[in-house]
Structure 1
Amino acid sequence: MTNIPETGRTPRVQLRLVVIQVLAFSLLLTLGGRLWYLQIRESDAYAEEASGNHVQRVVQPAVRGSILDARGVPLADNETRLVVSASRTELLTMEDDGKEVLTRLAGVLGMRPEDVMDKVRLCDAETPQPCWNGSPYQPILITDEATAQQALQIRERAEDFPGIVTEPAAVRRYPGPGGAETAQVLGYLSPVTDDEVRRAQDTDSPYLRSDQVGRSGLERQYDKELRGKAGVTRYEVDNLGRVLGQGENDPAEPGSHLVTSIDSRVQRVAEYELNEAMKDARKEWDRNTNEYYKADSGAVVVMEAKTGRVVAMASNPAYDPNAWVGGISAKDYEKLTGEASNNPLLNRAIQGQSAPGSIFKVIPTTAAVNAGYSFDGPYDCSSSYSIGGRAFGNFEARAYGPISLGRALEVSCDTVFYRLAHEEWLKDGGTTPKKDANDWFYTTAHQFGLGKPTGIDLPNEVGGRVPDRQWKQEYWEANKDAWCAQGKKNGSYTERIAYENCLEGNKLRAGDSVNYSIGQGDTLVTPIQMASIYAAISNGGTLYTPTVGKAVVSADGRNVREIEPESHGRLPMTKKTRDEIDEALAGVATRGTADWRFAGWPQDEIPMHAKTSTAEVYGKQTTSWFATYTEEYTIVMTISQGGTGSGASAPAVRKIYNALYGISEDGTIDRRKALLPTPQKGLPKITPHG
């Protein structure tokens, strides 16, 4: 037998083994490097991330603070209700996006399926209300009025209602004490949006996705104080979601309470009398338009004359703020925002702008005296005054002959102010003003605080308009192109006006100045502005920034931050001029345009000062204004398309004063019936229990 010698592995096999060894070594080296990177270099970051993955946060919403009137009566508070919510993210994991579940839920709650589905759809530019404008990851409120039987049915059949939660929760409530809705002053709440959450992340008051935030009124202005701080409980869980233990716990901090200067009793009277005045105005015949007055909107402000604090503020049309609680329905939303609604969400006391008419005349009176004219005059109160062939008439073509500025206020003589304004316009250079033009009438209006917001502690206040030379120029530059495109020299009235404005709409004409002198033309004011001015005349000349908030009080009542009245200047008049105007305004109530409305008023005990106004508005019926003050209070009321000041607004204003002071129609004072003969001084006591 022949032995064959062993020759060993072939070169090809040896090469393959070397390659495999190199690959294996490379893989081991890569794996080792990766393990070093994860376990050593990035160990802290991944440890923190791993820990976070095993911590679940449960949010406990903070109880929102109450809004109280000056006596401690709740205007906005909370009540416990059974709340049914839906998780949109869980519903979207279902094949039909949760439609079957929501339809089943609607049946239990006695709601229409389409209404329930509308509540969980997200708001965007193309989606009308009702819809969800909060975070899509936050539970969406379906109803806060579930009965115990409905809640039990949902809980017992949990398998039929995945993504649906029912539990007791604190829900905002607007009790409307005595029928005082105070809607536009209080405002309303709605869920926080993702954008708001992002923007507030780095602030000292971040939002949680479960938060409700104020959208208007005091709820918005004092949202940070009222909202409090939600509690967060952290649970350690395993990968299967089983709770292993409890981690850090941040307890919820309830929101602070806001004490206001509003007196709910006076608020109720103000709302009622404004509404009644509007209804009465609609029964009166307008001889100018040959129809009944429309009296489509109005506002009234009751203010402490010596502090600027608001005792009552009403705007009409009004609404029930509880409509927003739990998510607003499509029907209610249409009522509040539809074309036929006339904007009840608008607070006309601070956002309604219109020409003031004759209540404005205290400003040109002051301007005339500051320009060097004598208060005593005499000035000719003729039935009309002509400029360039155009006659500017006095109200109802009345003439009173030579009178003082004080008497001009009492009888509301327009032609006296026409003459003064025209003379000053000529002195300033007319349509080609001097470089050093005084513009007394316009400058004085700015000094009275017009043309800018008063600074009241309510959001979205507007500033009105003083149509001076600067405004004319800016307005012309903004509208010149449109006027030139529309204007025709021999066209319709509006086309001719556009043609004239195109050529010289930036010039302050004589007609502009005389119209302005009686609060007409392009002049715009708000009721709160005029209330501030008349309050300043009452208190001797100090302009206070109006306030509704009086104090912020912690939930336990221990910490109190009072909101003190602040002055932002004085009226541009001497004490002598102030006293002369004060006497003239008292004369309005006793022997002037409002004397027939104050027959029997106890003038010796409670001196009344007033000014009536019937402001003309192009294309509409006249606006009724009535501005008044006593030593303690200022009340200003306006009714759009309501007629005259003494005819429409004055009776309602007197009735508010009657309620404040306890005065009967014959002028008898009964202090026992007086709601608030002097302003509320102190603060209500708040304990941890309310």
Structure 2
Amino acid sequence: MRPFRRASSRRRSATLPDRATAPARRGAPGTIGLVIAQVLIVAMLVVLAGRLWYLQVPMASYYQQAAEENRTQDLMVPATRGQILDAAGRPLVRNNTELVVSADFHALAQQEDGGAGVLTRLAEVLDTDYKELRGRTRLCGPTVSRPCWPGSPYQPITLAEDVEPKVALQIMERQEEFPGISAQQHAQREYPGGKAAAQVLGYLQPVTQDELEKRHKLRTQFSGVDQVGRDGLEAVYDQRLRGEAGLRKLAVDSKGNVTGMVKETAPEPGQHLVTGMDAKVQKITEEALAEGLDKARAEGKPADSGASVVLDVRTGRVVAMASVPTYDPKVWEGGIDQKTYNDLLSKDAGQPLTSRAVQGEFPPASTFKVSTLSAAVENGSSRDGIYNCPSSVMVGNRSFENYEGGAHGSISLRKAIEVSCNTVFYQLAYDMWKQDGGMKPKNPKDSMSRMAKGYGFGAPTGIDLPHESAGRIPSREWKKDYWETTREANCKLAKGGRGEGGAQDGYLLQVAKEQCKDGWVYRAGDAANFAIGQGDVLVTPLQLARAYAAIANGGTLYEPRVAKAFVSADGKTVDPVEPVKAGKLPISDETLKYLQTALRDVPKSGTARGAFTDFPLDQVPIAGKTGSASSNGKESSAWFASYAPADDPQFAVVALLSQSGTGGTNAAPVVRKIYDGIYGFAPKTDDAEGAKGAKPKKGKTEPAMPDGAPPKELPAVKPDGSVDLPEGFRP
């Protein structure tokens, strides 16, 4: 056995270098990684410190608010919408509280079946169609048919209105069967007059998502009660009628349960809008217009639409405004089905959303002669001269005839208005056209066009209603612009001739060739048609009523107003809407008086005498002018424009019956019935409402306007919300 050799071990260890003194070898493992790790740790600490500083200093208030919001919930408290009242304080639009069943769009969408089961059970409880309910929960869009929800998905979707209390109770007591469904009291708009003045009053609809995003205060919470005015007065005065919503800040726990109230801001009720309208006169106007159209239809006329306007000539306020076809504004409540919506927009249904009084544009026919007479006299024609009224007159190279070829010999301008002699006005227009230089004018006066614009035609009146039309007053400049727009079509028509889809009628072919070649030229025939309110002239019934109101009141053109005043819900604050003067008629006092005298003859012995045969003109003299507007391929449209009493004017009344015949036969009787109602000249009937076929009784009806004038005082709104009517207008 060999012994252990220690010396060898010592020798081997002696040859190893000392680790403490030996130089470090290049690329020693772990050194670089350790340095990098240390740098990263330091950098992370710096970033963390910076982030902590940012959150605790610059963003401190933001996160403090966010923390508070995690413990609170805001609840909008809708304001009571103001009523719309007539001048005497009678409600035209009021609020009616009813039970409404609503759905939460997102709550239904989050359910596994998209809410189908809930809506099926709800349809059974409400005794309605499931498809109808499902349709109402869809959001409206370009490809979505009605019914659908036109409002925001963040507000309650109305599914059913005026629900019986026992039905609502079933829903609320069985919430586990109806998740996302609620039943609560809502204030709905109510229209005591039904369809009366529907286009004037307007309607409400839910706020859209776009509108919601523009109204920052309502972005997180929105009440389904607080709707937006979409048309008429509801739209124009939406902000003042709607008031200011209140806010309840509720304390909630981590599970969302309400534990108390942190803060409450009471809602500010909307203001009541007192209008210049009269509910009784409105009803009379609506009935008279409808009866006039029915009568025309019975005579075989199309009678497709109509409008009537009653203005207070002393202030320009609207007393009544009717348009046919009309509609019941209740159709908008809780959504609208596709068929009803299509009918409101359909030409076949007469587009009942359109107000013919404000938006309808029609040739004014002979009612326009007041402007032509004014232009001729102010241009040098004698008021006291004698003018020839033949059956026809040559204007340029065309013969223009009187209505039905009648002739009246040598007459005054006053007589020309009374009997509505077209040929006198053709000649006046032809003379002014020649004075301007005819086909080659040099600095033309365009007297007729300028006078028509001075009467307020060809521009909006400025009424406080949306979508007003401007009408059209042609001039040399207008005709040139119109020619450039239509030239291509006219040239194609002229080139086509009789057998190639062009103008089939010889006269139409000639016109098409003229329009193609030099249709920009203002011809003698254009002036002749202009003179009697035909050709390219278009006006609205409101414009015509304002013009006759100006003749009546001494020449002042007002901006028509429906609103008369705003009254706070407690009646303590009253903000009047003052009349606005828009200008003066550009005629002398002598010409104005001459016109007034001529118009007074029309109901007595002129073209409207048949309608006013037994009317007490000695008590309430009427001044007015008939008009029968013709159009290619259509029946004549009937006009009557008037004011009364002629010796102390208070009201201007205009009626238009489209495609209904002549003004004297069809429109004047409508206006007569309106005056009968205003002044109490209509005979009593067995039916208190004056229904059709009721037998006359002895005596007259009560006048709609006591003393033949609107109330001077505003209705008084009491603190409890009730309204006191002015003296003389109380039941």
TM-score range, shorter chain: over 0.9
CA distance in structure 1 between the partners assigned to 2:56 and 2:153 by the alignment: 37
* SS in structure 2 at match of 1:595: coil
Task: Show the 5 A alignment for 1:513-528.
Answer: 513-528=527-542
Structure 1 pair 110–16 and aligned structure 2 pair: CA distance change class (3 A): same
Query: What's 1:633 paired with?
Result: 651
Query: What's 2:314 paired with?
Result: 306
- Determine if the alignment matches structure 1 residue 536 to structure 2 residue 554: no
Counterpart pick for 1:214 among 229, 253, 265: 229
**1:306 CA drift (Å):** 1.6
Query: What's 1:224 paired with?
Result: 239
**1:479 CA drift (Å):** 2.6
**Alpha carbons 2:682, 2:701 under 8 Å: kept:** no
Read off the aligned partner of 2:372 and give its amino acid letter: P
- Determine if the alignment matches structure 1 residue 648 to structure 2 residue 655: no
Query: What's 1:289 paired with?
Result: none
**Alpha carbons 1:180, 1:264 under 8 Å: kept:** no
CA distance in structure 2 between the partners assigned to 1:256 and 1:482 by the alignment: 53
* SS in structure 2 at match of 1:550: strand
CA distance in structure 1 between the partners assigned to 2:289 and 2:59 by the alignment: 70
**1:688 CA drift (Å):** 2.2
Read off the aligned partner of 1:96 and give its amino acid letter: D
Counterpart pick for 1:459 among 460, 466, 469: 466
Sequence identity percentage: 46
- Determine if the alignment matches structure 1 residue 617 to structure 2 residue 631: yes
When structure 1 is superposed on structure 2, of 54-63 and 253-262 the one drifting more is 54-63
Read off the aligned partner of 1:679 and give its amino acid letter: P
Structure 1 pair 18–645 and aligned structure 2 pair: CA distance change class (3 A): closer
* SS in structure 1 at match of 2:716: coil
When structure 1 is superposed on structure 2, of 262-271 and 472-481 the one drifting more is 472-481
Task: Show the 5 A alignment for 1:171-250.
Answer: 171-176=188-193, 181-201=196-216, 210=224, 211-250=226-265
Structure 1 pair 39–612 and aligned structure 2 pair: CA distance change class (3 A): same
Query: What's 1:423 paired with?
Result: 431
Query: What's 1:97 paired with?
Result: 114
**1:216 CA drift (Å):** 0.8
CA distance in structure 2 between the partners assigned to 1:601 and 1:77 by the alignment: 37
**Alpha carbons 1:135, 1:209 under 8 Å: kept:** no
Structure 1 pair 389–476 and aligned structure 2 pair: CA distance change class (3 A): closer
Structure 1 pair 271–32 and aligned structure 2 pair: CA distance change class (3 A): same
Read off the aligned partner of 2:482 and give its amino acid letter: Y
CA distance in structure 2 between the partners assigned to 1:481 and 1:207 by the alignment: 55
CA distance in structure 2 between the partners assigned to 1:273 and 1:424 by the alignment: 40
Given the two structures, how large is their TM-score scaled by the length of structure 2?
Answer: 0.87
- Determine if the alignment matches structure 1 residue 359 to structure 2 residue 361: no
Read off the aligned partner of 1:457 and give its amino acid letter: D
CA distance in structure 1 between the partners assigned to 2:533 and 2:683 by the alignment: 32
**1:26 CA drift (Å):** 5.0
Query: What's 2:303 paired with?
Result: 295
* SS in structure 1 at match of 2:717: coil
**1:98 CA drift (Å):** 1.7
Query: What's 1:446 paired with?
Result: 453
Query: What's 2:266 paired with?
Result: 251
Query: What's 2:483 paired with?
Result: 476
**1:514 CA drift (Å):** 0.1
Task: Show the 5 A alignment for 1:522-601.
Answer: 522-601=536-615
Read off the aligned partner of 1:656 and give its amino acid letter: I
Query: What's 2:688 paired with?
Result: none
Query: What's 1:87 paired with?
Result: 104
**Alpha carbons 2:156, 2:223 under 8 Å: kept:** no
* SS in structure 1 at match of 2:451: helix
* SS in structure 2 at match of 1:295: coil
- RMSD between superposed Cα atoms in Å: 2.8
**1:532 CA drift (Å):** 0.7
When structure 1 is superposed on structure 2, of 634-643 and 601-610 the one drifting more is 601-610
Q: Deviations over 1:496-521 (max 9, x none)?
A: 54443232221111111101100000
CA distance in structure 1 between the partners assigned to 2:430 and 2:576 by the alignment: 48
When structure 1 is superposed on structure 2, of 105-114 and 333-342 the one drifting more is 333-342
* SS in structure 2 at match of 1:335: helix
Task: Show the 5 A alignment for 1:252-401.
Answer: 252-284=267-299, 292-401=300-409
* SS in structure 1 at match of 2:535: coil
CA distance in structure 2 between the partners assigned to 1:372 and 1:448 by the alignment: 19
Query: What's 1:287 paired with?
Result: none
CA distance in structure 1 between the partners assigned to 2:88 and 2:185 by the alignment: 30
Q: Deviations over 1:322-375 (max 9, x none)?
A: 221222233432432334311111111111110000010000011111001111
Given the two structures, how large is their TM-score scaled by the length of structure 1?
Answer: 0.92
**1:14 CA drift (Å):** 7.8
Counterpart pick for 1:604 among 602, 618, 633: 618
Structure 1 pair 13–272 and aligned structure 2 pair: CA distance change class (3 A): closer
* SS in structure 1 at match of 2:486: helix
Query: What's 2:703 paired with?
Result: 674
When structure 1 is superposed on structure 2, of 459-468 and 120-129 the one drifting more is 120-129
CA distance in structure 1 between the partners assigned to 2:120 and 2:282 by the alignment: 43
**1:247 CA drift (Å):** 2.8
Structure 2: give runs of 5+ residues left out of the alignment: 685-696, 722-731
Q: Deviations over 1:248-273 (max 9, x none)?
A: 32211110000011111111111011
**1:78 CA drift (Å):** 0.7
Query: What's 1:70 paired with?
Result: 87
When structure 1 is superposed on structure 2, of 109-118 and 373-382 the one drifting more is 109-118
Structure 1 pair 137–499 and aligned structure 2 pair: CA distance change class (3 A): farther
**1:12 CA drift (Å):** 5.1
Structure 1 pair 8–618 and aligned structure 2 pair: CA distance change class (3 A): farther
**1:317 CA drift (Å):** 1.0
Structure 1: give runs of 5+ residues left out of the alignment: 285-291
* SS in structure 2 at match of 1:682: coil
CA distance in structure 2 between the partners assigned to 1:222 and 1:388 by the alignment: 52
